[in-house]
Structure 1
Amino acid sequence: MTSHPQLLHTVLDTTRPRELAEFYRRLLGLTYRPGDEPPADGAPDEPDWLVLRTSDGVNQLAFQQVERLPRTTWPAHDVPMQAHLDLTVPDAAELTRQRRRAEDLGAELLLDRYDDPDEPLYVLADPAGHPFCVFVRTPV
């Protein structure tokens, strides 16, 4: 028995759960929790909650429908980001490749620090406006 709560998944608010789930499914190579997949028969698809998992069934991200979601103004603090995801890649070539992939999937570049000698990174926004960072993994 554990004496601490266990993190189940991170939940992102969105006005369009399927669109945002598809963005992260494709970006991160995740799969839907059984029953959350898009309808195969073309039936209406209006979920208010979706969960993505790793291929071995570990929950990673969930998407919760909200009526409205003001887009962050980061780096200005008029509407703060409040939370963001950090994603890592093994090297600079992969950093560039993943930035392009994210943009092809609908992400928007917010900050380009590729040339930073201490920590090259990109800050992007997903289609709902949630910022996420992609940077080169450093040895532990």
Structure 2
Amino acid sequence: MSGYPVLLHTAIDAQDCRGLAEFYRELLGLHYRDGEDPPTDGSPDDADWLVLLDDGGNRVVTVQAKEETTPPTWPSEEVPMQMHMDFQVPTVEDLERHREHAEALGARVLYDRSKDEGEPLYVLADPAGHPFCLLVQ
């Protein structure tokens, strides 16, 4: 164990906790922590904190329900971005594939720098309005 704190996960606020968790689950190929899958018996989904794990069981993203949220207006500073996540992909072809997938899941493109030869990227907003980047590394 190091002498430094270790990042456990990134927590994101959203009015629709399950909806945003589903977006990141599908986008990143994650799964819910045991007991947090959506109800299948018709009961209401009252989730207010959901943890998404990778295949190794590591926490990656959590989504917390918040009634009052205002989506960032990036690139405008009217409502500043409080955080963002960067996701790397290996090729420009993968960049396009993952952008299309993100859009199909409800993301929208905020900035297109996909033709940049040094570091092609897209800035997208998730369904709750939080910006994130897809970039070739």
- Tell me, yes or no, whether TM beats 0.5: yes
Deviation digits for residues 5-62 of structure 1 (CA, Å, limit 9, x no counterpart): 2211100000011000000000000000001111121211021100000012100000
Partner of 2:32: 32
1:12-51 → structure 2 map (5 Å cutoff): 12-51=12-51
Q: CA RMSD in A?
A: 0.9
1:1-140 → structure 2 map (5 Å cutoff): 1-137=1-137
Q: CA deviation at 1:4?
A: 1.6
Task: Mark the runs of 5 or more structure 1 residues left unpaired by the alignment.
Answer: none
Q: 1: distance between equivalents of 2:5 and 2:135?
A: 29
Task: Mark the runs of 5 or more structure 2 residues left unpaired by the alignment.
Answer: none
Sequence identity (%): 54
Counterpart amino acid of residue 69 in structure 1: T
Q: 1: distance between equivalents of 2:56 and 2:120?
A: 31
SS at structure 1 position matched to 2:70: coil
What is the number of residues matched between the two proteins?
A: 137
TM-score, normalised to structure 1, is 0.94
Q: 2: distance between equivalents of 1:2 and 1:100?
A: 39
Q: 2: distance between equivalents of 1:82 and 1:32?
A: 25
Q: CA deviation at 1:131?
A: 0.4
